[in-house]
Structure 1
């Protein structure tokens, strides 16, 4: 493949990443997962993952556009000194993730209502009480060392270390983050993580004892989600079709 073709391919890949990330931002607002003009999504564009796209500082998710996403470098210490610098907590969390976790090509950080409610509990464990909660059985990290709004490098580094090889993390007293190779997978994980949290919170509200699955059944159920892996991509594609049908300009 010629050098010109390689460049064209990289440009096409970044363009699609921009479109997908902007769509995910719009969909998060649609689902009421966002919090004011806070929270942030990112997607790596370089082979080493260190150059990544991130939403603009304090731009409402519902107005996100592909062309307006910032392109930053996790190894560039001057990033936060620029007039178009991202949100400080976005830089702290996402630069650490993309600098340290090569498998985390995409990272979605949110404070959705039910997952954040769980994060406020002394025990925020997602217990396997149905098929959706079982998806996360032994497949989610828990960071219970909240140190304040994540604007310091050490906070981001700790979060990244806690995530490790996992694809989602419950952030005590804070919120949740999902990471994945693609926007579609990270979005689907966030969708089901919030659904799982909702199911557990509603179950807690009954005041009745939880019917927690056995380890064997929970593991088998979690493993079965991999059989439906293609559904994660179909889910995101269908949601983008809904945005397109409504005339959303996220791809601009």
Structure 2
């Protein structure tokens, strides 16, 4: 099996497993506040090992609002017996996250969910993110699109295609499905998801107006995307704000 290399998601921040557990548990709780969760499905993961293959992920069918640091499964992407275990993860979660963490060691964090606006965008014949404002331009050149929907993502070939299509991009629009976000840290993944969902909302509202879109030139979109790079610290500050809010209102996420 091939491995995706030369991925540049940004400089990683080394954390202990416990710190990763707490941040990942926080991400689930924040996702509920944002309305990104769906029933007891969807899944977020974060690699513990340097090679990305040993990773944390939410247990099968646990509501995001109920996830605690101690609940997270510690999985080995190379273990072909994971799904035979008594505490096996959701099959689609293992298919997507197990394959990406096995094939793409730079994608230390992977969020897969069906947030309303990004999911609607994924249903369009042309689901590409058009650069029509500051937030949509943030993703210029950073979005992969997988049009190969094959039903519930629980087969090996589906996971392989998703991992290859994601490549070195931080965002994967999964046609007729949802979105996956890759990063080297949890705050980075959170901020990508936050802004992508907002960007999708803006684009969909622009489409709904029935007026022609004022799409930026590639040069202007690329310039704007590059101008976002020095603001990477915003994601960490934003995530820390939400952790302080959770510390105040839902401190059990850390346990």
- Same fold at TM > 0.5: yes
Per-residue deviation at 1:171? 0.5
What is the distance in 2 between the residues matched to 1:221 and 1:32?
28
Q: 2:234 aligns with which of 207, 231, 236?
A: 231
Within 5 Å, give how 1:80-229 maps onto structure 2: 80-229=83-232
> May I ask how many residue pairs the two structures share in their alignment?
241
TM-score (norm 2): 0.93
Q: Deviations over 1:137-190 (max 9, x none)?
A: 111100011111101111011000000111110000000011111000001000
1:170-216: per-residue Cα shift (whole Å, max 9, x none)? Answer: 00000001111100000100000100000001111111111101111
Name the residue aligned to 1:7: none
Q: TM-score, normalised by structure 1?
A: 0.94
Question: Matched residue of 1:250: which SS?
Answer: helix
Residues in 2 aligned to 1:47 and 1:172: alpha-carbon distance in whole angstroms:
31
Q: 2: distance between equivalents of 1:245 and 1:211?
A: 43
Q: What is the CA–CA distance in structure 1 between the aligned matches of 2:248 and 2:236, rounded to whole Å?
A: 18
How far residue 132 of structure 1 moved from its aligned partner, in angstroms, is 0.3
Shift of 1:247: 3.5
- TM-superposed CA distance for 1:90, in Å, is 0.3
Q: Which runs of 5+ in 1 are unaligned?
A: 1-11
Bigger CA drift: 74-83 or 242-251? 242-251
Aligned mates of 1:19, 1:235 — CA distance in 2: 16
- Runs of 4+ in structure 1 deviating by more than 6 angstroms, as ranges, are none
Deviation at 1:248, TM superposition (A): 3.3
Q: CA deviation at 1:244?
A: 1.2
